Amino acid sequence: MPILPGRSGEAKGAAAPPEPEAPWLIALASGAAEREAQVLVEGLRLQGVAATWHDLGHGVICLPAAQRVQAEAAVAESGLAARLIRVETPYRLARRDALPQGSRVALGGVEFGGQRFVVVGGPCAVESRQQIQTCARLCGEVGIPVLRGGAFKPRTSPYAFQGMGLRGLEILAEAGRDYGLPVVSEVVDPAHIERMYPLVDAYQVGARNMHNFELLKALGDVDRPVVLKRGPAATLDEWLLAAEYVLIGGNSQVILCERGIRTFNANTRYTLDLATAVQAKGLTHLPVILDPTHATGRPELVAPLALAGLAAGLDGLIFEFHPQPELAKSDGPQALRPEALPGLMAQLAAVAAATGRRLGAEA
Ligand code: PEP
Ligand code: MN
């Protein structure tokens, strides 16, 4: 077999390149003032340590202090309470040990990441004022505290319904106001972020856009929560690094959402990867929720998998329902019927009680 020039020499006896040194996080105790943290960072920079600080919403984190000795000395001199963490994972700011108590992310007044298991429900797409008003009313009746609805739909086929666009967001926001529900809707283009800002309480990044790094960077500049769906072929590290793009931009309000991955199994639309969702919860400080609707494409599987996610300690659920699924313009076959909602909520409430948790909005 011919050997390409250069390859053989490399293989013979060449020393492996040194592993790049893992960076360090300095996790300041929550309550540290931003000014004190800035003084610490400046001190490190004067010593040639390329430190930066990131406010995760609770406490301040500095990185990367590759030179541990200087970092320790600077922390000791500052008198700040801090922990030094060696970062051996590709993601840094999302690590659970950066914020062991876990992040709380609020959509309107509804908090994710606490004791409450939060349910988000609504149609796949906003289709009309009447449809979304009915959905909001149903949410209110059964105690679903957050309303979802897509206005910019990333569809597999360009011939399929693409969503109502900005007009859809306006009627979604109106329904949210009318029924006192925060709303979440998908953003597909960085250019839409500003126009969506007054109309949504959280931006959803869809599975197909998890690798859209320009979108993630743009969301890092916004002070509004991001529900980050896992790409159908993304590994755990890839998903968490996508979250890292938002965090490093300065937006600490990220909620991870497992929505099924592509496998050989053709019986469900995707395969719900509950194990990875639970791992994500343990490895990061971010709230993790589940989307059993897109994971399965089957309404009868939504409740059992939602219950499993709750029992497994996840932070919430996002699912689709429609006043008349047979008339839905997108994802009708996987939508729950209104009659199914009270039973779902009752089952969730029972499992929440059995696991020492509660459903709902309050902290
Ligand atoms: C949706 O929530 O309507 C959606 C399109 O989800 P996903 O990005 O997970 O496919
Ligand atoms: Mn959908």
When pLDDT is cut at 50, 70 and 90, the band that residue 19 belongs to is low
Is the model more confident about 145 or about 29? 145
Residue 108 DSSP code: T
3-state class (DSSP) for residue 263: coil
230 lines ligand 1 (CB under 6 A): no
Residue nearest to atom 10 of ligand 1 (CA): 207
Structure letter (DSSP) for residue 207: G
Binned at pLDDT 50, 70 and 90, residue 20 comes out as: low
In the predicted structure, residue 142 carries a pLDDT above the cut 90: yes
Quickly tell me which residue has 């053989």 as its tokens: 8
Look up residue 33 and give its DSSP letter.
Answer: -
Identify which of 291, 317, 321, 331 to mutate to test ligand 1's pocket (most ligand atoms within 8 A of the CB). 291
- What are the angstrom distances between the C-alpha of 95 and each of 24, 25, 247, 305? 12, 10, 11, 26
Q: Per the omega criterion (within 30 degrees of 0), is the bond before 64 cis?
A: yes
Rounded to an integer, the average pLDDT of 202-214 is 98
Edge-to-edge order in the sheet of strand 82-86: 52-55, 60-63, 24-28, 82-86
- Rounded to the nearest angstrom, the distance between the alpha carbon of 155 and the centre of ligand 1 is 9
pLDDT of residue 61 exceeding 70, the answer is no
This prediction's pTM: 0.92
- State residue 7's pLDDT score: 44
**Between 240 and 100, where is the model more confident?**
240
For ligand 2, a single-atom ion, which residues have Cβ within 5 Å?
Answer: 124, 331
Q: Is 232 in the pocket of ligand 1 (CB under 6 A)?
A: no
DSSP 80: -
Structure tokens, 309: 């996610």
Nearest by Cα to 255 from 277, 288, 290, 224: 288
> For the residues 277-299, what does the mean pLDDT come to?
98
Kindly give the distance from the C-alpha atom of residue 331 to the centroid of ligand 2, in angstroms, as a whole number.
5
Work out which ligand 1 atom sits closest to the CA atom of 150. 3
pLDDT recorded at residue 49: 81
Closest CA to 173 of 200, 195, 151: 200
The token pair at 248 is 């490093």
Mean pLDDT calculated for residue range 226-243: 98
Nearest CA to ligand 1 atom 9: 207
Pocket test for ligand 1, best of 120, 156, 157, 186 (most atoms within 8 A of CB): 186
Mutate to test the pocket of ligand 1, among 120, 156, 204, 322 (most ligand atoms within 8 A of CB): 204
Question: What pLDDT score does 75 carry?
Answer: 82
Least Cα distance to 310 among 320, 302, 322 occurs for 302
CB 231 near ligand 1, within 6 Å: no
What is the sign of the dihedral through the CA atoms of 130, 304, 291 and 113?
Answer: positive
User: At 146, is the secondary structure helix, strand, or coil?
Assistant: strand
Atom 5 (ligand 1): residue with closest C-alpha? 206
Centre of ligand 2 to C-alpha 180, Å, is 23
Please tell me the distance between residue 294's alpha carbon and the centre of ligand 2 in angstroms.
6
Q: Where are the beta strands (DSSP E) in the chain?
A: 24-28, 52-55, 60-63, 82-86, 105-107, 110-112, 116-122, 146-148, 183-186, 202-205, 226-229, 254-258, 288-290, 316-320, 358-359
Cβ–ligand 1 distance for 207 under 6 Å, the answer yes
Q: Comparing 30-39, 52-61, 74-83, 207-216, which segment has the lowest mean pLDDT?
A: 52-61
